[in-house]
């Protein structure tokens, strides 16, 4: 990957949502792929990694994807694009992958010989994750929601038990991955723009995604031109959003 010697603060300040890219400056798909790989290191709920990343480089698919992003300039001028996809429907496979990793770390020990941390992790992915993610037409989710709130009258408890709550959890994790990707791109002197104004149904069809998959966002990629940045960055005054307790 390109070395720029940027500090983290410099990388943060460099990253902007770029709306127009230079058509004469192609970007290296291998570097973009490396940035996507770095995105997999983002923190995520229960290490379930309920995400997939679709790296779009073909001109035909880029043209179609741009159309489904309403041909906004950030999409129309993009050299490449990355679609961040939520795969909450893969929770069983991802829980099993974590269980397999626990067994590997435990060096093949019999589960009855696991130490305290290993036993907790095994119970977590074998029992707690299924309770958290399993649902049946939303019915089980509402039942959990009611039970959690009743228990919550007497002690602190996790309250997000509905299907819609778990969708939010999965999308938050994908959003963390997307931000990690964009910062990685900025560190490589590449530019990005996250887009949520998109036709998610048509994008799902373009990528041939299953019913349970959901589009989190599309991130366009390229190298900025001056008019691609719409003025100085504006943020609400820090004192209005910072609350020290």
Query: The domain spanning residue 54 has which CATH number?
Result: 3.40.109.10
CB neighbour burial string for 6-17, b if at least 16 within 10 angstroms, e if fewer: eeeeebeebbbb
Residue 133 maps to a domain: yes
Burial of 116 (0-12, 13-18, 19+ CB in 10 A): exposed
Secondary structure (3-state) at 159: coil
19 with 86, same domain: the answer is yes
Please tell me the predicted confidence (pLDDT) of residue 4.
67
Range of the domain at 129: 92-165
3-class secondary structure for 160-173? CCCHHHHHHHHHHH
End-to-end CA distance of the chain: 42
Please give the Cα distance from 109 to 198 (Å, whole number). Answer: 49
239 located within any domain: no
Task: Look at residue 170 and tell me if it is in a domain.
Answer: no
Domain match, 130 and 21 both: no
Q: Which of 142, 165, 188 is the last residue of a domain?
A: 165
Query: Based on the domain organization, do 185 and 213 belong to the same domain?
Result: yes
Q: At which residue do the structure tokens 């570097």 appear?
A: 31
Q: Identify which of 98, 99, 120, 86 has the alpha carbon closest to the alpha carbon of residue 203.
A: 86
Residue 89's pLDDT is what? 96
Q: Judging by DSSP bridges, how do beta strands 80-86 and 191-195 pair with one another? A: unpaired
The reported pLDDT for the residue numbered 1 is 56
156 shares its domain with 56: no
Query: Is the Cα torsion angle 228, 76, 181, 188 positive or negative in sign?
Result: negative
User: What does each of the 245 residues of the chain score in pLDDT, given as a tens digit?
Assistant: 555 689 999 999 999 999 999 999 999 999 999 999 999 999 999 999 999 999 999 999 999 999 999 999 999 999 999 999 999 999 999 999 999 999 888 877 877 778 888 899 999 999 999 999 999 888 999 999 999 999 999 999 999 899 999 999 999 999 999 999 999 999 999 999 999 999 999 999 999 999 999 999 999 999 999 999 999 999 999 999 999 99
Amino acid 25: pLDDT: 97
Domain assignment present for 123: yes
- What pLDDT is recorded for position 77? 98
Residues 154 and 127 in one domain: yes
Structural domain contains residue 235? no
Domain count, the chain: 2
pLDDT for the residue numbered 91: 97
CB of 50 within 8 A of CB of 44?
yes
To the question of pTM greater than 0.85 for the whole model, the response is yes
Note whether 144 and 201 are same-domain residues: no
- Do residues 97 and 213 both lie within one domain? no
Output the six-digit token pair for 17: 């949502």
Looking at the domain assignment, is residue 243 inside a domain?
Answer: no
Q: Is residue 237 part of a domain?
A: no
Say what the pLDDT of residue 114 is: 86
Are 101 and 210 contained in the same domain?
no
DSSP 24: T
């Amino acid at each position: 990957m390109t070395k720029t010697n940027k500090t983290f603060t410099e990388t943060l300040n460099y990253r902007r949502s770029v709306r127009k890219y230079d058509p004469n400056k192609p970007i290296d798909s291998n570097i973009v792929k490396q940035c996507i790989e770095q995105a997999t290191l983002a923190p995520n709920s229960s290490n379930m990694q309920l995400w997939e990343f679709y790296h779009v480089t073909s001109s035909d698919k880029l043209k179609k994807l741009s159309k489904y992003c309403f041909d906004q300039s950030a999409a129309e001028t993009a050299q490449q694009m990355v679609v961040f996809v939520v795969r909450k429907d893969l929770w069983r496979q991802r829980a099993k992958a974590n269980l397999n990793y626990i067994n590997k770390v435990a060096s093949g020990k019999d589960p009855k010989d696991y130490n305290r941390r290993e036993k907790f992790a095994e119970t977590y992915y074998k029992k707690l994750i299924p309770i958290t993610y399993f649902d049946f037409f939303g019915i089980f989710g509402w039942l959990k929601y009611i039970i959690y709130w009743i228990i919550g009258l007497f002690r602190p408890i996790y309250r997000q038990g509905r299907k819609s709550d778990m969708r939010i959890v999965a999308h938050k994790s994908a959003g963390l991955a997307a931000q990690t990707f964009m910062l990685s791109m900025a560190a490589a002197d590449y530019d990005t723009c996250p887009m949520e104004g998109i036709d998610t149904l048509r994008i799902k069809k373009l990528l041939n995604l299953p019913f349970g998959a959901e589009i989190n966002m599309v991130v366009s990629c390229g190298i900025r031109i001056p008019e691609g940045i719409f003025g100085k960055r504006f943020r609400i005054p820090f004192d209005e959003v910072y609350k020290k307790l």
